[in-house]
Amino acid sequence: MEQLLLINIIFLFAILPVLYIRRTFFRRNIFLGRFLGNYIFLAHYMFFLLIVLGIVNYFFYHLSGLNILILSLIILPIFFIYAYNNFSKPRVIRDEIHLDKYSENKKMRIAFISDVHLSALTSKKNIENSLERIKEEEPDILLIGGDLVDFSCRDIKSNFTNSFRAITPRLGIYSIVGNHEYHGGVHENIKYIRSLGIKVLKDDVLNVEGLNIIGRDDITNKKRKKLAYLTKKIDMDFPTVVLDHNPISIDEAIINKIDLQLCGHTHRGQFFPYNLLVKKMYKNYHGYKLFGTTHTIVSSGFSSWLIPYRVNSTSEINIIDIYY
């Protein structure tokens, strides 16, 4: 048992140099990408499984090497199927937000997704199935909270132009950029996003049917505009929605009396134990939370980067009915 645990710890520490080599030299290699994603997930959960079996072995029941092998071969495949299902089939999260201080008796249905992470590894079938679920909800507008591209648009092998252009909400599709667009070359990635029929907001504002939308640049850009500056460019007598990739800015939204802030980035930690770490890092790390009069929604993401598995997290589509 001790030898198995030591070997697994070595595998865990090997993840960082392997990640660097893959990202630097083999980003477009599908086989190596899939191998690495599975390797990272397996190394993590083999480690935790060995700890659990070690506790059982020490306190309750002696397990032979064969027992451990058989249990691992039974438990891990079931666990992989469960985690892949959480990743590949986004669930629809519904929220109703009533902004009672406005009395225009209007309603807008917003579909919100984030962290699509298009790359060489992205399954076109999975993306199109998920986009079809959005279409079935008949949103008035689709908002995307950044990291639509995983690194560089040059890495993307499938053609997603028709996939996204098939979604035709009557008020259009808008996206902001996230940290991953910057990692791979933000200007080229923005051109790619626009080629999908998506309008990009980068410290930009607009008013759609009496609803202000502020699309912030990502925090990666240290020169991005302050929210207070952007609010001066709109009429704050109208309800205001802010798109900001990283939820670290929620306090700024509260100070500026924003009605609704939509974020992504966190992936809800994606899998244990990172969900516990992410929960400590952000005021809202996932889902809906109200702070005073500021409503916030943080998406766990529409897809994922590299690792096609989720535990204590699912890919998701947010459908928000906002009354104002």
pLDDT for res 194 = 98
Structure confidence at residue 44 (pLDDT)? 86
Bridge partners, 95 (sequence order): 320
Tell me the percentage of the chain whose pLDDT exceeds 70: 98
Over range 118-147, report the average pLDDT: 97
Confidence band (pLDDT; 50, 70, 90) for 2?
low
Range name among 20-29, 71-80, 140-149, 259-268 with the lowest pLDDT average: 20-29
280 Cβ contact list (under 8 Å, min separation 6): none
How far apart, in whole angstroms, are the C-alpha atoms of residue 136 and residue 150?
26
Dihedrals phi, psi of 45, to nearest 5 degrees: -85, -20
Does the pLDDT value for residue 12 go beyond 90? Answer: no
What per-residue confidence (pLDDT) applies to 261? 98
Poorest-pLDDT segment among 61-65, 82-86, 102-106, 157-161: 61-65
Determine the pLDDT at residue 253: 98
203-226: per-residue pLDDT in tens? 999 999 999 999 999 999 999 999
Encode pLDDT of 48-73 as tens digits: 888 887 788 778 888 777 877 788 88
Q: What pLDDT shows up at residue 240?
A: 98
Spatial strand order of the sheet with 260-263 comes to 204-208, 211-215, 240-243, 260-263, 294-298, 287-291
For 214-269, write each residue's pLDDT tens digit.
Answer: 999 999 999 999 999 999 999 999 999 999 999 999 999 999 999 999 999 999 99
Least confident window among 53-67, 158-172, 181-195: 53-67
Write out the DSSP string of 202-221.
Answer: SSEEEEETTEEEEEPPPTTS
Segment holding 240, helix H or strand E: strand 240-243
pLDDT for position 1: 57
Q: What angle do CA 230, 234, 238 make, to 5 degrees?
A: 125
Section 139-164 average pLDDT: 97
Q: What is the mean pLDDT of residues 265-284?
A: 93
Tokens describing residue 294: 């500021």
The fraction of the chain above a pLDDT of 90, given in percent, is 73
